[in-house]
Amino acid sequence: MAKIILTGDRPTGRLHVGHYVGSLKRRVELQNSGAFDKIFIMIADAQALTDNADNPEKIRQNIIEVALDYLACGLDPEKTTIFIQSQVPELTELSFYYMNLVTVSRLQRNPTVKNEIQMRNFETSIPVGFFTYPISQAADITAFRATTVPVGEDQLPMIEQAREIVRKFNQVYGETLVEPEAVIPENVTCQRLPGTDGKAKMSKSLGNCIYLADTAEELKQKVMSMYTDPNHIRVSDPGCVEGNTVFTYLDAFCKDEHFKKYLSEYENLDALKEHYQKGGLGDVKIKRFLNAVLEEELAPIRERRLAWGKRIPEIYELLRKGSMEAQATAAQTLADVRRAMRINYFEDAALIKEQTERYQG
């Protein structure tokens, strides 16, 4: 069976380092591994509209931001098809058929949907489109016969729901769809990177994100004002590394080589943590080190983003071509789905014959 990747992001803002360690970095590695027959990366504008119906302009503006972030990270349009969800209308038709295979109570139990409903204060008035987006996400994945879905850990319930839909579809209508598997980071810290303020979630409204588009100055300023251990007041005080955002980011980003380059008094992160816990190591020093580590990782991304920023019309053109290719692929799956459901009436010579005989006989 062909190995195929499908994944994507909602274009509601620029992508940040949480997206990067949570999934983007892995996608680029998988792309460059050469182990996949086809890679589709989708800008999920239709899904973004499910909770932004009154603000389509926000989505419209952010499509290019997400595309720039993708290209900046090293997704290569020669190897990967990048496309826009709404330009593939087959996805909505698939969703409509899959809706019949899912119950309301099953959707209500989806932990990610539950959590998002709470965060958006939707409890009393959930838009139907938002409530059913896990079904449309199953359509996104299956339309491309994806075997592999690299995503952030919060998306696991979506993939599980998609797998259930596939099994149900195949059981009712015969073997047609491919059951996907999620790929999440092995490093648990990368699965859920906190905001710079130590809050569990990075969000634009909290102003606690480091964006891939941030300048070196913005990055430095954000790192130097990161939340650490509030009880670590004097350098000589023993400090706590758990819940200390600087150490959490180091857990996500730093490798032993970084010590040789930027902080050679320590052999590795364990040695740095030990000193911090004992006392005698100041926050400014660990923040400067983190800044160097992040700068090493993010500077090439920033540069590529600036370079692509000079080629905007080309990016729209590659999105257009990608969307056309994605549409053609999804159309093939939709044809299989209609055939499996036997709603392909006009291709069905047996049906016409059967009904003719019934009426003549």
Binding site residues, ligand TRP, CB under 6 A: 6-10, 44, 47, 137, 140-141, 149, 151, 155
Q: Decide whether 107 or 219 has the Cβ nearer to ligand TRP.
A: 107
Least distance between ligand TRP and beta carbon 323 (Å):
15
Rounded CA-CA distance 37/79 in Å is: 10
Secondary structure (3-state) at 223: helix
Rounded CA-CA distance 275/278 in Å is: 5
Q: Decide whether 42 or 219 has the Cβ nearer to ligand TRP.
A: 42
Least distance between ligand TRP and beta carbon 155 (Å):
6
DSSP letter for 101, please.
Answer: G
292 strand-pairing partners: none
SS (H, E, C) 120-172: CCCCCCCCHHHHCHHHHHHHHHHHCCCCEEECCHHHHHHHHHHHHHHHHHHHH
Q: Decide whether 49 or 151 has the Cβ nearer to ligand TRP.
A: 151
Q: Decide whether 108 or 355 has the Cβ nearer to ligand TRP.
A: 108
Structure tokens at 180: 């996907």
Closest CA to 87 of 337, 320, 351: 320
Tell me how crowded residue 347 is: count the other CB atoms within 10 A of its CB: 9
283, 244 Cβ separation under 8 angstroms: no
Residue count of the chain, please give it.
361
Least distance between ligand TRP and beta carbon 12 (Å):
9
Least distance between ligand TRP and beta carbon 8 (Å):
4
DSSP letter for 207, please.
Answer: T
Least distance between ligand TRP and beta carbon 251 (Å):
23
Rounded CA-CA distance 230/232 in Å is: 6
Q: Decide whether 41 or 241 has the Cβ nearer to ligand TRP.
A: 41
Least distance between ligand TRP and beta carbon 347 (Å):
29
Give the CB-nearest residue to ligand TRP: 44
Q: Decide whether 4 or 72 has the Cβ nearer to ligand TRP.
A: 4
Q: Decide whether 212 or 263 has the Cβ nearer to ligand TRP.
A: 212
Q: What is the CA radius of gyration of the chain?
A: 24
Least distance between ligand TRP and beta carbon 102 (Å):
16
